[in-house]
């Protein structure tokens, strides 16, 4: 028989145990309560405990979603009216066509206020002339020089064919209304699936079969810095017409010398990411320009995503000739990797962006006479270059001494 003291002690202990149990229940830690301990940054912490006897609201974390396919790959591309891209890989690849670029790249939206997207349609009847063509002549250095060991680095980017090189003195362009010196970085081409289309810029309503872009960036900026600068890039555009259609089109100049050396190597760039170091003896940047140096000038953007509005455009007014056999070589390239011998799927054609609204921008024309070596020195003697670097507080740099007048 227990004494009164023992009874009192047992009652006391029971009350303590009841208190501790109640405390545990309130904290959600008691066995059998069913509430999980909150865990920070845990997947479990993000799954709510289902209400009892409610099968509709219960969450089965082991059940796989109905669509367990790999997520589709989204990237930008072009409109391919004759050769639509095929679906390859674990999931169907979705290409953003030009009208949808703005969904991933906001600057590509030409409906924005004060947008300056490229390319544009140039109407020669509505443009204004430059104020002083002689003073504003576009000039270049090292354009008549071959790169080191005559080597050009070529690559099929999947969106086009791009060429670059290394020089003892990297080519530059300057004057001609440019706010400083611009260093050459690369040139690339845009072309169509047929002869009646392919160029990005259109002059007087007539597209050309091919367009070349010579890209330059401000000499004291990196590539990234240049795309963030409203005048960080200077692009020279050159149009090409098919040589066997000259009679139906406007004045076209002869096929440039040495350009056949470059274009004859296109078969080595059949697949995307294909890279080649090409030795092209005698080939220089000047070979890519028409003798008539008249050009159209406007403020624009890159014609590919992210469509950075950083480009000063100089579109040469006179197209060059190109034999149709080289256009056919362009059209055999592929935008995606294909099996050997596949000449139908994923062809790299029609890699041009449609023209964008001018949106109030001015297009100027600089009407310059053809420049030959015999008259180059006399023309240079009449030029009065402006020290733009000093006026805009741009750091002056050392440049190659040779001068080529556009």
When the pLDDT of each residue in the chain is averaged and rounded to a whole number, the result is 75
User: How remote is the C-alpha of 51 from its chain's centroid?
Assistant: 53
Burial of 202 (0-12, 13-18, 19+ CB in 10 A): buried
Give strand pairing partners of 174: 139
Residues 6+ apart with CB under 8 A from 363: 120, 122, 123, 126, 127, 128, 296, 297, 298
- How far, in Å, CA of 332 to CA of 303, rounded? 23
Report whether pLDDT(213) > 60: yes
Burial class (CB in 10 A: 0-12, 13-18, 19+), 181: buried
Q: Tell me the domains of the chain and their CATH numbers.
A: 8-51 (no CATH), 75-405 (3.10.200.10)
pLDDT value of residue 264: 86
**pTM of full prediction above 0.75:** no
Token pair, residue 62, equals 């082991």
Query: What pLDDT score does 194 carry?
Result: 92
Strand partners of residue 175: 138
Distant-in-sequence, close-in-space partners of 55: CB < 8 Å, separation ≥ 6: none
The pairing of strands 320-322 and 233-242 is parallel
Whether 362 contacts 123, CB under 8 Å: no
Closest by CA to 295, choosing from 377, 374, 235, 356, is 235
pLDDT tops 80 at residue 13: no
The predicted-structure confidence for 114-165, as pLDDT tens digits, reads as follows 999 999 999 998 887 665 555 568 899 999 999 999 999 999 999 999 999 9
Lowest-pLDDT range of 44-58, 172-186, 368-382: 44-58
**pLDDT digits over 69-86, tens only?**
444 445 898 976 665 555
What Cα–Cα distance (Å) separates residue 216 from each residue in 65, 74, 195, 349? 50, 29, 28, 25
**Residues designated catalytic:** 159
Q: How many CB atoms lie within 10 A of CB 352?
A: 25
Note the pLDDT of residue 44. Answer: 29
Rounded mean pLDDT of 5-26?
52
Closest CA to 260 of 304, 214, 325, 339: 325
Region 108-113 average pLDDT: 95
Q: Does pLDDT of 87 surpass 90?
A: no
Strands 121-122 and 202-203: parallel
Nearest CA-CA partner of 298 in 353, 253, 237: 237
Tokens of 128: 């204004």
What does the block give as tokens for 146? 């071959």
Mean pLDDT for the stretch of residues 269-288: 93
CA distance 397 to 92: 50
3-state secondary structure of 239: strand
**Residue 60 tokens, joined:** 């089965």
> What does the angle CA 119 – CA 120 – CA 121 come to, to the nearest 5 degrees?
140
Q: Say yes or no to pLDDT of 233 above 60.
A: yes
222-75-184 Cα angle (round to 5):
25
* More reliable by pLDDT, 387 or 5: 5
């Amino acid at each position: 028989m227990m004494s009164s003291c023992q009874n009192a002690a047992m009652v006391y202990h029971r009350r303590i145990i009841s208190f501790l149990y109640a405390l545990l229940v309130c904290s959600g830690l008691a066995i059998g309560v069913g509430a999980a301990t909150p865990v920070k940054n845990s997947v479990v912490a993000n799954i709510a405990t289902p209400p009892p006897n409610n099968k509709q609201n219960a969450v089965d974390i082991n059940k796989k979603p109905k669509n367990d396919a790999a997520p589709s790959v989204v990237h930008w591309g072009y409109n391919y009216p004759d050769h639509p891209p095929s679906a390859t890989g674990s999931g169907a690849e979705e290409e953003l066509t030009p009208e949808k670029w703005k969904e991933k790249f906001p600057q590509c939206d030409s409906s924005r206020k004060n947008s300056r997207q490229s390319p544009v349609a140039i109407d020669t009847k509505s443009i204004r002339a430059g104020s002083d063509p002689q003073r504003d002549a576009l000039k270049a250095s090292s354009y008549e020089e071959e790169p080191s060991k005559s080597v050009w680095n070529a690559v099929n980017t999947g969106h086009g064919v791009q060429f670059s090189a290394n020089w003892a003195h990297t080519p530059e362009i300057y004057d001609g209304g440019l706010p400083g010196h611009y260093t050459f970085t690369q040139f690339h081409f845009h072309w169509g699936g047929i002869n009646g289309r392919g160029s990005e810029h259109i002059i007087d309503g007539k597209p050309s079969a091919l367009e070349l872009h010579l890209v330059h960036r401000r000499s004291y900026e990196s590539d990234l810095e240049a795309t963030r600068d409203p005048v960080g890039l200077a692009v020279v555009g050159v149009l090409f017409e098919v040589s066997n259609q000259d009679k139906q089109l406007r004045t076209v100049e002869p096929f440039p010398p040495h350009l056949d050396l470059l274009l004859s190597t296109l078969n080595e760039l059949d697949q995307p990411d294909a890279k080649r170091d090409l030795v092209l003896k005698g080939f220089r940047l000047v070979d890519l320009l028409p003798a008539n140096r008249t050009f159209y000038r406007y403020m624009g953007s890159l014609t590919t995503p992210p469509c950075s509005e950083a480009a000063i455009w100089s579109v040469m007014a006179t197209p060059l000739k190109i034999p149709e056999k080289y256009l056919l070589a362009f059209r055999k390239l592929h935008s995606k990797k294909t099996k050997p011998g596949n000449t139908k799927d994923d062809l790299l054609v029609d890699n041009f962006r449609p023209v964008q609204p001018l949106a109030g921008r001015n297009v100027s024309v600089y009407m310059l006479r053809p420049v030959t070596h015999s008259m180059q020195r006399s023309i240079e003697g009449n030029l009065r270059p402006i020290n733009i670097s000093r006026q805009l507080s741009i750091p002056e740099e050392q440049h190659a001494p040779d001068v080529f007048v556009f």
